[in-house]
């Protein structure tokens, strides 16, 4: 490579890190209805700069991302089945619903291409941290204004804020673990404390449960994937951390339940969730193969046939349970496609833990995925605008990291 191309490469690497920081920071804060347009602008500006600096353009401009084939397969199966379901119902509204849900995957493809082409890790993670800090400050301001109202920051509601915080926990922990600078460790630790405070202000019990469950399942996954590679002392340390976090989460859940005056009564702790699940089951029993249609759950739920007699809550459009939503709206094939998507993603990340050189980062991604998935059992996740885009953004970035790592390993052979 000549001096000119080396100079271009340095400029591109710096520009890619700055643009990735802007993209990540903006994408997790819904400060306006068109917030994601600003994140896309950051990506497109860098893309045009990259195209200009990389002239003449050839096939090598597109990175090799074959290592992400399991994720591609899962996305195609999941959204493909949902789209078929929408066409079978023959309504424009159902088709638009699925297309809008698929639109949330755009950050996955952008970040996959971006990270597979350039090492943007520092910029991306710092951008996520800055976005997390903004969310924390925003939540604290709202909590100070009225402590009795759950904080939402820039999200549509408090549970979405809890989901967003949970997606970022593992990577803040990763950065604190990786740095050798004591001052930086303290900085990351302070951010973790602030995020814990913001999670409290959201009063999202589902987020607290998902955090605890995700940590336990990640611990089990690591033991299975790296069996024989742990010494006894490390295992005990890991179990102690899991036990501590689980105890804190359990205490937080009990406190929030007391604060909301629901106690642990299943009939009260989740509002009308049990009624919604029972009604959803009845809907599916009447529409087993293709469901009631994408985007039609709310219409059927409030119909005389399915609405519970004791139900008083208004405005629900889903049953606060992702598997049940896809079972109800898309039938048995829809929920099967959703589980296939989850299993392929889990398999991909499990393999990464076993084979990647950076097992700490692989573990962080697995933890983020499992927390997000578990939260989907008590709230909506993957169909929500900001949390859904955040999830796909992080997954795409990590898939790009693996693609880049695979490419470098092949070059050394």
Domain chopping of the chain, boundaries: 73-103+152-412
Cis before 151? omega within 30: no
Which pLDDT value is given to residue 250? 65
Can you give the pLDDT at residue 2?
38
203-222 residues labelled b (16+ CB within 10 A) or e (exposed): bbbbbbbbbbbbbbbbbebb
Per-residue pLDDT at 233? 61
Cα–Cα distances (Å) from 286 to 255, 283, 293, 300, 334, in that order, read 40, 5, 12, 11, 15
| DSSP code per residue over 320-357 | S-HHHHHHHHHHHHHHHHHHHHHHHHHHHHHHHHHH-S
The ranges of the chain with pLDDT < 70 are 1-6, 58-59, 228, 230-242, 244, 248-271, 409-413
How many whole angstroms separate alpha carbon 214 and alpha carbon 233?
A: 22
Task: State the pLDDT at residue 255.
Answer: 59
At residue 97, the pLDDT reads: 95
In this prediction, residue 241 carries a pLDDT of 67
pLDDT of residue 195: 93
Q: What is the largest CA-CA distance in the chain?
A: 76
408, burial (CB in 10 Å: exposed 0-12, middle 13-18, buried 19+): exposed
CA distance 180 to 201: 32
Per residue in 161-218, pLDDT (tens digit) is 999 999 999 999 999 989 999 999 999 999 999 999 999 899 888 898 898 899 889 9
Q: How many degrees, rounded to 5, is the angle at CA 389 between CA 385 and CA 390? A: 115
Q: How many other C-beta atoms can be found within 10 angstroms of the C-beta atom of residue 253? A: 18
Query: What pLDDT score was predicted for residue 237?
Result: 63
CA neighbor of 39 nearest in space, from 29, 54, 50, 51: 29
How many angstroms separate the CA atoms of 313 and 321, rounded? Answer: 17
pLDDT for 399 equals 97
């Amino acid at each position: 490579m000549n001096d000119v191309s080396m100079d271009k490469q340095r400029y591109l690497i710096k520009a890619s890190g700055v643009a990735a920081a802007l993209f990540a920071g903006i994408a997790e804060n819904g400060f306006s209805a068109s917030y994601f347009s600003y994140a896309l602008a950051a990506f497109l500006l860098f893309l045009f700069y990259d195209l200009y600096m990389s002239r003449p353009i050839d096939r090598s401009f597109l990175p090799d991302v074959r290592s992400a084939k399991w994720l591609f397969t899962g996305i195609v199966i999941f959204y493909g089945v949902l789209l078929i379901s929408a066409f079978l119902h023959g309504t424009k509204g159902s088709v638009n619903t699925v297309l809008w849900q698929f639109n949330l995957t755009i950050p996955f493809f952008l970040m996959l291409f971006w990270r597979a082409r350039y090492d943007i890790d520092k910029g991306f993670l710092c951008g996520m941290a800055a976005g997390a800090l903004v969310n924390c400050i925003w939540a604290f301001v709202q909590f100070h204004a009225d402590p009795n109202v759950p904080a939402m920051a820039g999200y549509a509601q408090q549970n979405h804020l809890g989901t967003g915080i949970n997606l970022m926990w593992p990577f803040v922990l990763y950065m604190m673990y990786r740095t050798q600078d004591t001052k930086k460790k303290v900085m990351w630790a302070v951010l973790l404390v602030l995020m814990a405070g913001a999670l409290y202000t959201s009063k999202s019990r589902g987020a607290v449960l998902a955090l605890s469950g995700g940590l336990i399942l990640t611990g089990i996954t690591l033991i299975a994937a790296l069996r024989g590679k742990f010494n006894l002392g490390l295992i005990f340390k890991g179990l102690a951390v899991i036990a501590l976090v689980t105890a804190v989460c359990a205490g937080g859940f009990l406190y929030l339940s007391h604060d909301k005056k629901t106690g642990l009564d299943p009939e009260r702790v989740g509002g009308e969730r049990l009624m919604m699940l029972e009604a959803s089951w009845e809907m599916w029993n009447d529409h087993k193969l293709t469901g009631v249609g994408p985007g039609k759950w709310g219409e059927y739920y409030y119909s005389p046939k399915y609405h519970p007699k004791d139900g008083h809550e208004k405005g629900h459009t889903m049953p606060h349970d992702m598997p049940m939503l896809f079972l109800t709206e898309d039938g048995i094939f829809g929920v099967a496609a959703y589980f296939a998507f989850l299993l392929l993603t889990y398999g991909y990340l499990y393999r990464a833990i076993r084979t990647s050189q950076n097992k700490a980062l692989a573990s962080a991604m697995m933890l983020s995925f499992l927390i997000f998935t578990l939260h989907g059992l008590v709230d909506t996740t993957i169909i929500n605008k900001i949390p859904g885009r955040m999830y796909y953004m992080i997954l795409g970035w990590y898939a790009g990291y693996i693609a880049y790592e695979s490419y470098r390993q092949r070059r050394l052979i």
